[in-house]
Amino acid sequence: MSSTSSIFSNVFSYRQREKNSPLENFLIEIFAFCLINDPRFQRSFLALFTNSSFADDGLTIVTQKHFEGYGRPDIEIRGKDVTIFIECKVESSERKGQLAKYLSLLRKDKARNRNFVYLTKYYEPKDFEKDVVNITQLRWIDVYKSINETNREITNELKTFLKENHMEDVKNFSMQDLNAMKSISAAISKMDEVLEQVKPEFERILGPLSKDSSRSSRLWDNHYASYSTMSFKRINYNIYVGFFWDDPDTEIPEVGISIALPVKLDKTLLSDCLDSLEKKKWIIYQYDSDFFYYTALKPITEFIDKDIDNIIAIKKFISEKIRDLGTIKDGRSKILCR
């Protein structure tokens, strides 16, 4: 979005980006549109982290601008002597190295006042060091509280939208949270049972998996998975096997295998491998500008049947997908190697 573009055109541009988060993308465009078209809101938002008088400089606000080698900050704001990058998250978290790239880009910027804002639904503690860039962590609840009846109608619609999506107050525990706490140990135990059962076959065909303790480190990213690091053309990438509930479009957690391939890998070099996976009904999608993914996932509900042992059924499904990868590895020595 630029200062002259329509919010509807920008939202519509996401229509065919398979597996992108509609909520996150729509919210970014609506939020930016309000900043552009409601000077009072623009000023109150700036006041959360910098001098609100920058609003008087005729700021330029754009979304999803690509910087070669650095990525695509969600929102970029520029003024006479100020540059601001805003990274917006709802349920997802940042990719590895994503924030560091944006900070590196801002350090090279010529504006005297350089700001990076990390805007999230939940509080996510980050250990940022002192920097020439002013770094601020905000939550959507801060945006919600900064909007009142004096703002324009579209901005108050944003406030309503935030409330409808439960971003107006996330600091209190709910009964749902308490019930989840009581059942989390049993759920993790069952997930561990599946992963332990598929581990020997995975390691025999594809090589060692990560330490068992690393599984819980992925919970913040809405995964519970083991991974194996592969290399192609001296570029590393990971194969994850486990449980995933990071897709905002899928309310039910999924189980299976996901391969994260860096975009900088020449896809033509991998075309035979990837075509083989597509023929085996693996799904490809590009979630962001840095990676595209091949996945073989099924909703866990597909395995819940009172007449079968669902852990055995899940193991069978994952084993089939491991063998898919083994077939490709055996036929192409440089693919799926460590």
Whether 336 is covered by a domain: the verdict is no
The structure's pTM equals 0.60
Q: Are residues 155 and 224 in the same domain?
A: no
Q: Are residues 158 and 237 in the same domain?
A: no
Q: Are residues 113 and 246 in the same domain?
A: no
pLDDT above 90 as % of the chain: 42
Q: Are residues 95 and 133 in the same domain?
A: yes
| Statement: residue 288 has pLDDT above 80 | no
Q: Are strands 82-88 and 113-120 parallel, antiparallel or unpaired?
A: parallel
Q: Which of 12-16, 93-97, 205-209, 246-250 is the least confident region?
A: 12-16
Whether 337 is covered by a domain: the verdict is no
Name residues whose C-beta falls within 8 Å of residue 139's C-beta, 6 or more positions apart in sequence.
119, 120, 121, 122, 123, 167, 170
35 or 306, higher pLDDT: 35
Name residues whose C-beta falls within 8 Å of residue 276's C-beta, 6 or more positions apart in sequence.
324, 327, 328
Q: How far apart are CA 47 and CA 41, in angstroms?
A: 10
| Statement: residue 7 has pLDDT above 60 | no
Whether 1 is covered by a domain: the verdict is no
Whether 101 is covered by a domain: the verdict is yes
| Statement: residue 14 has pLDDT above 70 | no
In the chain, the number of structural domains is: 2
pLDDT-based confidence at 122, cuts 50/70/90? Answer: confident
Q: Are residues 310 and 186 in the same domain?
A: yes
Give residue 326's domain range.
175-331
Q: How far apart are CA 77 and CA 30, in angstroms?
A: 15
Q: How far apart are CA 89 and CA 119, in angstroms?
A: 6
Q: Are residues 232 and 302 in the same domain?
A: yes
Q: Are residues 138 and 158 in the same domain?
A: yes
Q: Are residues 179 and 322 in the same domain?
A: yes
Q: Which residues pair with 276 in a beta bridge?
A: none
| Statement: residue 128 has pLDDT above 70 | yes
**Mean pLDDT computed over 204-221:** 86
